[in-house]
Amino acid sequence: MTFSPSIIIMANMETRFVHWEISCGHLIAHSHIQRGGAIKMRLHVASLERFHEFILALTTCVEDQLKSHCYNTVGNFLTFFESYKNRKDLTQSLESFYGEYNPPITAKHHTCVGLGLDLAGRIVELKQTYPGISSALFLASCEEDIGNVNRYVSTPTPDTRTSEKEHVVIALNIELEGRVGVLILDTGYHVPRPVIVMEDRLYPHTGWFKPGGTSRSRRLYNYTLHPSGRYVLWDVKETRKGIEDCESARIYTHQAFLSPVDCTERRNLVYNCDVGGVYYQWKFYTRFNGKFYFWVHKWIP
């Protein structure tokens, strides 16, 4: 991948810009309302044979999207930066501009939000074959960086004072021959097929599976329903050089997430991390063929 001059400029942007990202980046989810929608219905599937046909149709939707759309946080960041440079009021601060900015969702610059919205549109087109799918389908919020997992899932809804809503996925409530479950579709993490999460964890529950990885690592995912029925527990195991690392995230599936652009997309514009006292901002760009690109700029205090 060849970086354009504008990207190189962004990688060496003024310290004031980067410093503001570092000091204010984690206020994103809290400075805008996190809205939850109505509780969704369930798509009733009468037989396993019909269910397998449905999963095949969803898998085709996922594969088609992954072939035609990248995961790309670079373009949206550049659009934000260009909009700030060309703002009408040149005396307006970056913080003020950021608070008023409405992140656009464009076809060639999708984060998990854009991919989720696009995938939902593709799935809804199946409504003639599977009546009721629109009422069972929704975007669900996902919390990845959780300090106390048990405390997080102990509340009926995620605490908006501490939730950042870093990620969104597609969720689809189902009832299969009287058994309750939910389907998770996550092209933001390049999961190439629907994940089946049955309440009883019996067939056709997906269980642990390998979503991808590299020759240097072995990553496994597992999704289960929390006993409350309000959350899906997403557990990750990754083994590198014989050392296993475990992480957990939580997907809130009791209500639809109605503010993915205002919260998650806005947050992703200035997402950063602290590594050994040095602050970094990562920007990612992926392709279906397995190639994975990223760039990073840093600010050293």
3-state SS, one letter per residue, for the chain:
CCCCHHHHHHHCCCHHHHHHHHHHHHHHHHHCCCCECCCCCCEEECCHHHHHHHHHHHHHHHHHHHHHCCEECHHHHHHHHHHHHCCCCCCCCHHHHHHHCCCCCCCCCECHHHHHHHHHHHHHCCCCCCCCHHHHEEEEEEECCCCCHHHHHCCCCCCCCCCCCCEEEEEEEEEECCEEEEEEECHHHCCCCCEEEECCCCCCCCCCECCCCCCCEEEEEEEEECCCCCEEEEEEEEEECCEEEEEEEEEECCCCECCHHHHHHHHHHCCCEEECCEEEEEEEEECCCCCEEEEEEEECC
Domain membership of residue 239 as a residue range: 5-299
Predicted local confidence at residue 271, as pLDDT? 66
- What is the reported pTM? 0.79
How high is the pLDDT of residue 110? Answer: 81
pLDDT of residue 27: 36
Q: How confident is the model at residue 284, as a pLDDT?
A: 46
Mean pLDDT by 10 residues, the chain (301 residues): 33 32 35 63 96 98 89 79 89 86 80 92 96 95 84 82 85 97 95 96 97 75 96 92 89 92 82 48 47 45 45
| pLDDT score recorded for residue 48 | 97
Q: What is the pLDDT of residue 50?
A: 97
Number of domains in the chain: 1
**Per-residue pLDDT, 30:** 39
